[in-house]
Structure 1
Amino acid sequence: MIAKLVKKSLFLAGVLALAAPLVAGENFPESTKDGLKLKKQSRHGAVYVADDATLANYDKVKILDCFVQFEKDWQRNYNRDERDLSRRVTDKDVEQIKKKVAEAFPRAFSKELEKGGYSVVDGTGKDVLLIRPAIINLTVTAPETNSPGISETFVASNGSMTLYMELYDSATSTKIAEVMDAEAVGDTGFGHRGGRVSNQMEFDRTIQEWAHKLRKRLDEAHGK
């Protein structure tokens, strides 16, 4: 139990360390504490890769549970601006949203990767790529709550979230890459209805797009 807590703390430390430049609007460092080198960066995020790392060795993927964390003070700020007390976000609402987002990650990644011919497995091995994902800085513009009645809200976007993902060689537990990407969710440039159905669809779509990017990298490594 203690070992698991230590590992989780180290993982969260890595998340926060890589997220800091993104939040501050600064350039990312040229390397991480564990020696990965900056390969690509933009205002949305960065990619770090180990020397001589390749995805060509992997045709199977293992996906760990997705950690989900809201943007700091999101619940408090949302409730401060919501005049209808019955529609304020409760702690239970927050946990339900986090659970749905966490469950959407393996569902979307498994579907996309298997479409590309990559097996999603529970075990480890020299041909298994291990993914350790987190979604941080989560915001929801029109969150689903347990309030009575039906409410429609027009929104410019459904919210935002940032993907932080570590890739490991599962056989050796060697980290080969770190990825961070911040995205607006459901931002089409036009107003649209927010709410439960729209949120689910748009958050799923953004996660699927991340999955597609990983599949493309795997395809390129395998010469597809």
Structure 2
Amino acid sequence: MDRRHFAALALTSLAMTAAARPALAAKPGAEWDGLVKVKAKRFDKVYLRPGADFRGYTKVILDPTEIAFEKNWRRDYNNNQRSTSLEVTDRDIQRMIEEGRKSAAEILQKAYTAGGYPVVTEPASDVLRVRTSLIDIIVRAPDVMGPANVRTYSRDAGEITLVVEARDSLTGSLLGRVVDDRTIDDFTMEWRNRVTNRMDFDRQVESWAKNSVKGLNKLKTLSPIAG
């Protein structure tokens, strides 16, 4: 993914800082906001509301993806640069956020549509509201337009945490939440640039999007959710 894109995804969770971020900081255990932790194969942590019934949902509303970088990432990155021309600026951050949101929206819409869930904009009894946040983003080599002869090599593009919330679109009732931490890793040392960053980022988001759709299908077979 474009480094800015990757970072953008990260920034997507800024709006979510008021919601999921504090909860994550609290290190939720077996219960979280009335949800109960369940075993999951596709994600690190999955919490569901006992009694929730997902069988009636046939469409989704996709809220704009929220993005947030790791709190000290930019400071620490800039402190390690030899020149101010290599530092991440406010403008770089805003660009990354905008590009990341756009990319995430396209990937999510494609995945849900392909999975049989039309994306709509109006709440209804058969519509599930999905909020996706990408937070605690760390980019190993953000794409700032510095000297052309400067290259950064790394085994991974960075780190990112996914948070997904599922709510009833009419009542706003929280039905489930997913948290998944990933290192965007190729396992090979390579030159990091906007092309490789964007490819790695898109690959991870696509995987999350497809797994989210598979998870929703699985929840239908398990509904109503046991307490």
CA distance in 2, matches of 1:9, 1:149: 31
Secondary structure of the equivalent of 2:178?
strand
Counterpart-to-counterpart distance in 2, 1:211 and 1:39: 20
Contact 2:153 2:190 survives alignment (8 Å) = yes
Q: Which residue of 1 aligns with 2:119?
A: 120
Are 1:18 and 2:20 counterparts? no
1:196 aligned partner: 194
Over residues 116-169 of structure 1, what are the superposed CA-to-partner deviations in whole Å (9 max), with x where a residue is unaligned? 121011111111110112111011111111335364322111111111121101
Q: 2:164 aligned with 1:165, yes or no?
A: yes
Give distance in 1, aligned partners of 2:130 and 2:171.
14
Letter in 1 for 2:21: L
Residue 15 of structure 2 contacts residue 67 of structure 2 at CA under 8 Å; is this kept in 1?
no
Q: 1:210 aligns with which of 205, 208, 211?
A: 208
Give the AA of the match of 2:50. Answer: D
Distance of 2:208 and 2:61 partners within structure 1:
16
**RMSD between aligned residues:** 2.4
Answer yes or no: is 1:73 the counterpart of 2:72. yes
Name the counterpart of 1:29: 29
SS in 2 for 1:96: helix
Cα separation, 1, equivalents of 2:35 and 2:19: 12
* Offset at residue 13 of structure 1 (A): 3.6
How many residue pairs align between the two structures? Answer: 208
Kept after mapping to 2: 8 A contact 1:93/1:146: no
Aligned residue for 1:121, secondary structure, equals coil
Structure 1's unaligned 5+ residue stretches are 1-7, 23-27
Counterparts of 1:71 and 1:196 in 2: how far apart (Å)? Answer: 20
Render the CA deviation track for 1:67-103: whole Å, top value 9, x for unaligned: 1111011111001111132111111111211222222
Q: What is the distance in 2 between the residues matched to 1:10 and 1:92?
A: 18
Specify the SS of the correspondent of 1:212: helix
| Secondary structure class of the residue paired with 1:56 | coil
Contact 1:129–1:169, Cα closer than 8 Å, also in 2: yes
Summarize deviations over 1:8-44 as a string: whole Å, max 9, x none. 999534312332266xxxxx41112x311111379x7
Mapped to 2, the partners of 1:222 and 1:69 lie a distance apart of 31
**213-222 or 66-75, larger mean C-alpha shift:** 213-222
Taking the TM superposition and a 5 Å limit, the aligned residue runs for 1:47-66 are 47-66=46-65
Equivalent pair of 2:14/2:66 in contact (CA under 8 Å): no
Counterpart amino acid of residue 25 in structure 2: A
**Separation in structure 1 between the aligned mates of residue 14 and residue 34 of structure 2, nearest angstrom:** 19
In 1, the alpha carbon distance for the partners of 2:89 and 2:171 equals: 42
TM-score (norm: length of structure 2): 0.83
Separation in structure 1 between the aligned mates of residue 56 and residue 85 of structure 2, nearest angstrom: 53
Moved segments of 4+, more than 4 Å: 8-11
TM-score by length of 1: 0.84
**What aligned pairs does 1:40-189 form with structure 2 within 5 A after superposition?**
40=39, 45-149=44-148, 151-185=150-184, 187-189=185-187
**What is the rounded CA distance, in whole Å, between the counterparts of 2:201 and 2:139 in structure 1?**
10
Identity %: 30
